[in-house]
Amino acid sequence: MAVTFLPRRTRQIAMVEARRGLTRCLRTTLSLDSVFVWRSTAHIAAVKTLVPQVANDIGEVLATELLEANQDNEDGIAAQRERVLVLRSKLSGLKSEAARRLETLADYLVKKSVWLVGGDGWAYDIGYGGLDHVLANRRDVNILVLDTEVYSNTGGQQSKATPLGASAKFAASGKAVGKKDLGLLANMYGHVYVARVAFGAKMAQTTQAFLEAESYQGPSLIIAYSHCIAHGYDMANGRSATKASGRLWSVATLPIRSASTSEGRGPAQPRLRTTKSQGGGLHA
């Protein structure tokens, strides 16, 4: 088979174009998060500016309630949704430019709940850089990590989430290195809410952790033990297995060391405490 070599100048041009394409791709990728955040922030700021402009038309009471609504719990968010419906009905009869603009952006008056859900392979390994970036930026997002403590998609191989001494693929005689302490790494920032849960072991603690994570105005990380077929038992008995895991998997809520959170409003401080399931040490 004959091999054709391109002229040196042609190769140089191709390399330059490839580098330019890669640079454009990287710039686009790296700017997506900032664009989304800044657009959302700009829309929220615009709404708060537009409401006072139409206050005389929609009523001072409604305008005040829309801007000062407490949305730290589900009841508050539901009440705000009702106010936005009333606002839309009043705006439909107005012709001003501010009214039309506010009608478009009215949904930004309601607090948005953002949840990122992934497995331990993403959170501990291949996606850890992105996860760490989100935790460090003080954004009001919630992260749920479903931790099976092995690479489940590849048949239960050892990973950074696998505990010391655990038997798994590529670690038949027991893993020689301890489990990566994802909760402690996040807690070191001082502004991240961190909880470790096992639904079958402590149902009340799991429910409380989700409520606290949602109410906390800053990044929240919940690491949840998740049963897996690679663990060697019938998945139909998953909840029982999760309950038994409480003897090996500690459930805890780490204290937030810094009171400051995302820009603007102060934190809705959750009830922070530390608990241990029977037989488990606290290593979150």
From first to last of its 284 residues, what are the pLDDT tens digits of the chain? 554 555 666 666 666 666 676 666 555 544 444 444 555 778 888 899 999 999 999 999 999 999 999 887 888 999 999 999 999 999 988 889 999 999 999 999 998 888 999 888 888 888 888 889 999 988 889 999 988 776 666 665 666 666 655 655 555 666 666 678 888 889 999 999 999 888 777 788 889 999 899 888 889 999 988 877 666 666 566 555 555 555 566 777 877 866 444 443 334 444 444 443 333 333 33
- Residue 116, SS3? strand
* Bridge-based pairing state of the strands 115-119 and 142-147: parallel
Element holding 215 (H helix, E strand): helix 203-215
Residue 113: its pLDDT value, please?
84
Residue 242 lies in a domain: yes
Which of residues 57, 84, 109 is at a domain's end?
109
Tally of CB atoms within 10 A around 112: 12
Residue with tokens 């409520």: 211
If one counts every other C-beta atom within 10 angstroms of the C-beta of residue 166, the result is 15
Domain assignment present for residue 18? The answer is no
Three-state DSSP at 113 gives coil
96 shares its domain with 148: no
**At a CB cut-off of 8 Å and minimum separation 6, what does 206 contact?**
197, 198, 199, 224, 251
240 is a domain residue: yes
Picking from 65, 85, 109, the residue at the C-terminal end of a domain is 109
In-domain check, residue 273: no
Q: Tell me how many domains the chain contains.
A: 2
Tell me whether residue 263 is in a domain. no
Q: Are 173 and 101 part of one and the same domain?
A: no
Asked which of 91, 109, 127 is the last residue of a domain, the reply is 109
Are 215 and 207 spatial neighbours (Cβ–Cβ below 8 Å)? Answer: no
Domain range spanning residue 97? 38-109
In a domain, 5, yes or no: no
CA 239 – CA 174 distance, rounded (Å): 26
Query: Closest Cα to residue 280, out of 253, 249, 252?
Result: 249
My answer on whether 120 and 105 are in the same domain is no
The residue among 50, 22, 149 whose CA lies nearest residue 107 is 50
Q: Per-residue DSSP letters for 224-280?
A: EE---GGGSS-GGGHHHHHHHHTTTS--EEEPPS----SSSSPP----------TT-
Element (H, E) at 196: strand 193-197
Position 125 in a domain: yes
Q: 272 lies in a domain?
A: no
